[in-house]
Amino acid sequence: MNNTRLIMLIARFHPVVGGTEKQALALAGQLQENGLGVQVLTARLKGLPKQETIKGVQVRRLFSAGAGFLGTWTFMISSFLYLTLNRKNYDLIQVFLAGSPAISAKFAWKMIGKKVVLKLGGAGPTGDVGTAVRTGWGKRKLNYLRTGIAAYVVPTREIAREITDYGFPENKIRHIANGVDADRFRPVSLEEKVELRRQLKLPWRKIVACSGRLEPGKGMEILLTGWENVYRQFPEAHLLILGEGRLKQDLAWRVAGSELREIVHFLGLIEEPEKYLQCSDLFVLPSLAEGLSNALLEAMSCGLPVVATELAGTKEVINAPVNGLLARAGDPGDLGEKICTLLDVKTDGSAMGAAARATVQSGYAIKLIAQKYETLYQNLLKEV
């Protein structure tokens, strides 16, 4: 049993839902199950307890004076104080994203010598580098974090290239993919699928699922434009959109005033998204920028054939046409065409879905990913 005691430091944590938060929760739970002592430090949000246990993991919410600049700085200070005052109670710090919490972690390294592992999450204009370089403060953060970190974990080679080009030390970069709970996100039998549709009150028609934040860069507007073409060929096919975000109202209004109003459904945040994936026929990811999409991995783990935009990180997972199809990013016509290909009865979606499931089981199951992190932690702690 690995007796490493780990602090996970992250600005937001469950029940806040986002790709980074989902990865942190899945990894923390699996590491705890594997025998590591894991404690999560995150910012205190209104209405949430100061301390609780989630998936067997102790979660401590530290003082943060609301949102914005003041909240960022107060959480930096409170997390730094906690890390230094409790130095005897942990061995290593795992921090998520190249943001302000990473600065607290590096301060702690300078003060007490605890090694820091920094996981970066995204690529392109919405990634760690892409968002930081737009402001002077962001650039200073990146420059500060280029030293003093024991290892930089990246889920895709694209992110590795981005941070290397920005001057991060290549010899400290470790490629560990995002992980998915392959036991929870699993394929179901036809009988189970029928029962799930009955429970969820979904029609027995072709169903396409899409999950993600309804925010700029996620390509939801592109998907709706592409779906107009899908509607002409498959008017009875339904589109389920799982997620919340700033664009939800505008997107919903757009659909409400169109011929798509009866077949496009905005379901909001869903506690058990696996049920909707398991009773769908295929999955679509229309993003314009991604690191390694959790939603994509979850759908593939459920054995769904997928259509995803042709991004660098996505291409590391999708071997078209074996385990999915790739569409040009930002091209609604190509996206709609690929969806129609999988809706066509002549396409063997079951073989593609089985290959997608096998891809996850062999390289992206959270149990495998957690083992890679454990090996990294052990190796770092052995180094002088």
139-177 confidence digits (pLDDT tens): 999 999 999 999 999 999 999 999 999 999 999 999 999
168-227 pLDDT per residue, tens: 999 999 999 999 999 999 999 999 999 999 999 999 999 999 999 999 999 999 999 999
pLDDT at 373 over 90: yes
pLDDT of residue 310: 96
Asked whether 107 and 199 are in contact (CB, 8 A), the reply is no
Element (H, E) at 187: none
Q: Which residues contact 374 (CB under 8 A, 6 or more apart)?
A: 2, 4, 31, 34, 36
For the segment 48-57, the average pLDDT, to the nearest whole number, is: 95
Q: Which residues contact 124 (CB under 8 A, 6 or more apart)?
A: 130, 158, 288, 289, 290, 311
d(CA 380, CA 384): 8
DSSP 28-74: HHHHHHTT-EEEEEEE--TTS-SEEEETTEEEEEEP--SSHHHHHHH
pLDDT at 274 over 80: yes
Residue 167 structure tokens: 């001057």
- Greater confidence, 16 or 248? 248
d(CA 379, CA 375): 6
Across the strands, what pairs with 356? none
pLDDT at 1 over 70: no
pLDDT of residue 345: 78
277-314 pLDDT per residue, tens: 999 999 999 999 888 999 999 999 999 999 999 999 99
The rounded mean pLDDT for the chain is 95
Roughly how many angstroms between the first and final C-alpha of the chain, as a whole number?
22
What's the CA angle centered on 350, arms 348 and 356, to 5 degrees?
115
d(CA 122, CA 142): 14
- Greater confidence, 258 or 67? 258
pLDDT of residue 69: 86
Q: Measured between alpha carbons, how far is residue 165 from residues 117, 169, 171, 367 in Å? A: 20, 10, 13, 31
Note the residue count of the chain.
384
pLDDT of residue 348: 79
Which residue ranges form the domains of the chain, and what is each CATH number? 5-179+365-382 (3.40.50.2000), 190-363 (3.40.50.2000)
pLDDT of residue 322: 96
For the segment 106-135, the average pLDDT, to the nearest whole number, is: 93
Across the strands, what pairs with 40? 8, 59
pLDDT at 120 over 90: yes
pLDDT of residue 102: 97
Tell me the three state secondary structure of residue 1: coil
For the segment 268-284, the average pLDDT, to the nearest whole number, is: 96
pLDDT of residue 56: 93
DSSP for residue 120: -
